[in-house]
Chain A
Amino acid sequence: MKARGWFAGARIRRGACGDWETLASRAAVLDLPAEAGRALAAHVASCARCGAHARREERLTRLLAGLPLPAWPIERPILPPAAAAVAAQAGGDPSMPASGAALAADRARRALRLAPIPTLALVLLILALLSIFRRPAHPTWRLALVSPAGAVTPAWSLAMIGASVEPPLLGESLHLLVDGRDVTAASDVTPDFVLYTTSDPLPPGEHLVAVEVRDRNGAPIDEQLWVVTSEPERMVR
């Protein structure tokens, strides 16, 4: 109860004019924020300087919140074209590969699966001939997130992030990035696998995991992204 006496003499700054006011000492001092709010509102209504300040603040809010949203250009698809094509074919299959090369390979596989046998033989023959006469600059890799299962990890334990690459790399290198940070140096890397164990549990929320294939000069030539969710205990199934 002694505290009431201490609060009784509290002073509040009233507004933009910098005036101070001592609040009356009565039971209402226990409700100081509300009392202060009422005193401020009454002051702003009567003080020209504070009134103008309040109007400026209001205009600034209207100016910021009233800006039109930028329009999405019609000619620009929501997904990159290759991804959109696979999405349309997959009918919402969430295991869609991301990189351009992987998407093209995936599309070709689907097309081949549906093609009649003579067409299939012809296509295979053409591909074989092409592979003899024109070797691609680099093979197409299939990058897959192996761990954590379902891209979900519990937030109370260390996370193991693993990705596989197929076919195995020959001269290229595999790099793992978590939320933009290259953690390859702290990972176990083989020609067809990279595994990273975090030193602390991942904070709850979504984390961006990227695996990059880089050529001998260190330039990225293929990449795949996943969102890994670190979930508190009660949410993990």
Chain B
Amino acid sequence: MVEHRPWSHLAAHLILIVGVALVLFPVYIAIVASTQGPGEFLRGTLPLLPGGHAVDNYRAMWESGLSRAGAPPVGQMLFNSLVMALAITVGKLSISLLSAFAIVYFRFPFRLFFFWVIFVTLMLPVEVRIIPTFQVVADLGMLNSFAGLSIPLIASATATFLFRQFFMTIPEELLEAARVDGAGPLKFFKDILLPLSITNIAALFVILFIYGWNQYLWPLLITTDPDYYTIVMGIQRMTTAADGDPQWHLVMAAVVMAALPPVLVILSMQHLFVKGLTETEK
């Protein structure tokens, strides 16, 4: 169905351009805003061309942050976010890989029961169980710690399910061949299952990293010490400064920096991601 009608081509491209512009314009505005001086926003109109204060703004945010609004330096918050997001991602991946492995390849009593228990947790996202979870974390003395930030978010069923589905598509003969070749369960997991899942792992890594990075409510609840503020909740603090108008140019600089790590993760994982979608190795 290849048609050569110039008008439909033009229309298609126009729609695409409008779509891209709709998505990119706010990003552009954020970047432009982060280069303005302190006075620009107070005039009421937002300039559409970059200003000359980029270096000042970014340096100020990176080094000292908005201390008046109770936000630590952005560098510190980025680090906290990174630690939390990585802990959540790695934790989720390893736990779900292992539990999917157990569910698919082992016959143990109450296997189905455990399967359903994992399934049920899908219905209980953090927001639903947030109060009891907070209570537990508080009782364990994990408030204001990286452990408290990440551990409650690690247990999740989504990744377990995806891996389970993937493992079930791997032919059983592969396991049997490995058994004949003298590979025990863990060796099979390490030598065969993990290398075969690598593209799935990469895809989930991206998704879970962004999930962890974007956590807002949970860090807001359990961190009271600015040393443990994450960037997403930190930005929120900056905008609700108690004394006067928020300093948008600085907030925008923080926003741009907060958006960079997920972009980097996606770019670096992209080739694996695409490979996983286009190539079947079975």
Partners in one complex: no
Residues of A within 8 A of B (CB): none
Residues of B within 8 A of A (CB): none
